Structure 1
Amino acid sequence: MTRIPLACYFILLLAPFAQPELTVAGDQPSDFTQPDFPAMGVPINNRVQADRPVHADLSRFADEAWILPVRSSHLSPGKIASRALNMPGLPPFFLVGDDPQSLTWLRQRAAELQELGAAGLAVEVADTEALARIRAAAPGITILPVNGNDIATRLQIERYPVLITATSLGQ
């Protein structure tokens, strides 16, 4: 089975935050492009408020069944000690699995995670039903299946669920 490099998932997770300006050779879009935008569902002059986190539902763009199951041999469910991080510019994200501890953690922290604009990485997922249970525990939050071994090694963690921000790592 072909695995997608972790960097590809981070690019997908960070894509909603890169919002380049559309350059138009005039004040208004030309008449021949105007009718196309509503048909494609592209909002015109609809800017996202800067103080509101952006959440993209990347799961609707591709069938993820081919990537499952996802197993992260360096990670397992359990408690972790919180610690400070110094990673300026890192967008918040979290690691979870399809275990009961992760699902409970997600339900309890869903509002906070949404407020932070955190994206989720499901590092232990058996099948599409398990991925659906994880996503149902935190509706409206992007959660993608990813092998978490590289992240575990780089951040020196062995347990999940965990929330990682630019300044801290903890449950």
Structure 2
Amino acid sequence: MKQIPLTSCLILILTPFALAELTVVEGLPGDFAQTDLRVFDAQMNGGTPNGLFRAEVSLLSDEAWMLPISSSRLSPGKITPRTLDMPGLPPFFLVGDDPKSLAWLQERGTVLRELGTVGLAVEVADLKALARIRAAAPGITILPLNGNSIATRLQIKHYPVLVTATSLEQ
């Protein structure tokens, strides 16, 4: 019969005692990280109302690597307005570099600024197209982003569209 060295026996015997025990910390609010992020954001952005994050386009050193953006599930067109029940959702909008989106931005620019919206350019060919979109709505943050996931979740097929916590409209 083979003998097991003493160290092997000790390892086998002591292993269950060496395992870390899971400790659950109770009493912490569920949104503690969100609170911390809001405080950090307020410090970075000079106390933005409602603690909402505002991206500074100038902080993005070079967006060319993100372009072109093409959202295959979205196209320019008419949407049917409807109500939403998404409490806490900050207002945002989806646009492209098409003439309809640019005209919509110029028409709705004041309302979009008053609501504090952030724009998502879901169809952008290049930096010149992104510059045209931003020029149509000065003072509003507009970032290039593929909109397929948003289109699926909100069950929309067209843009431009304004999305708030209570409505989806054009």
TM superposition score normalised by structure 1: 0.71
Question: Corresponding residue for 1:116?
Answer: 115
TM-superposed deviation, 1:52: 10
Change in Cα spacing, 1:127 to 1:51, as seen in structure 2 (3 Å) is same
Q: Provide the aligned C-alpha RMSD in A.
A: 2.7
Question: Partner residue of 1:151?
Answer: 150
Q: When you count helix as a share of all residues, which structure comes out higher?
A: 2
- Conservation of the 8 A alpha-carbon contact between 2:39 and 2:51: no
Unaligned runs of at least 5 residues, structure 2? 1-33
Equivalent position of 2:104 in the other structure: 105
Report the 3-state secondary structure (helix = DSSP H, G, I; strand = E; otherwise coil) of the residue aligned with 2:69. Answer: coil
Q: How many residues align?
A: 135
Runs (4+) of structure 1 exceeding 3 A deviation are: 46-56
Q: Which has the larger radius of gyration?
A: 2
Contact 1:70–1:125, Cα closer than 8 Å, also in 2: yes
Aligned residues of 1:119 and 1:141 also touching (Cα < 8 A): yes
Match of 2:39 in 1: 20
Provide the residue aligned with 2:7 in structure 1. Answer: none
Could you tell me the TM-score, scaled by structure 2's length? 0.71
Matches within 5 A, 1:80-95: 80-95=79-94
- Runs of 5+ unmatched residues, structure 1: 1-14, 23-41
SS at match of 2:38: coil
**One-letter amino acid of the structure 2 residue matched with residue 95 of structure 1:** L
CA distance in 1, matches of 2:137, 2:122: 16
Identity over aligned pairs, percent: 64
Structure 1 residue 57, shift from structure 2 partner: 2.0
1:153 to partner: Cα distance: 0.4
Q: CA deviation at 1:98?
A: 0.1
1:64 maps onto 2:83 in alignment? no
Per-residue deviation, residues 61-104 of structure 1 (Å, max 9, x unmatched): 33110010000000000000000000000000000000000000
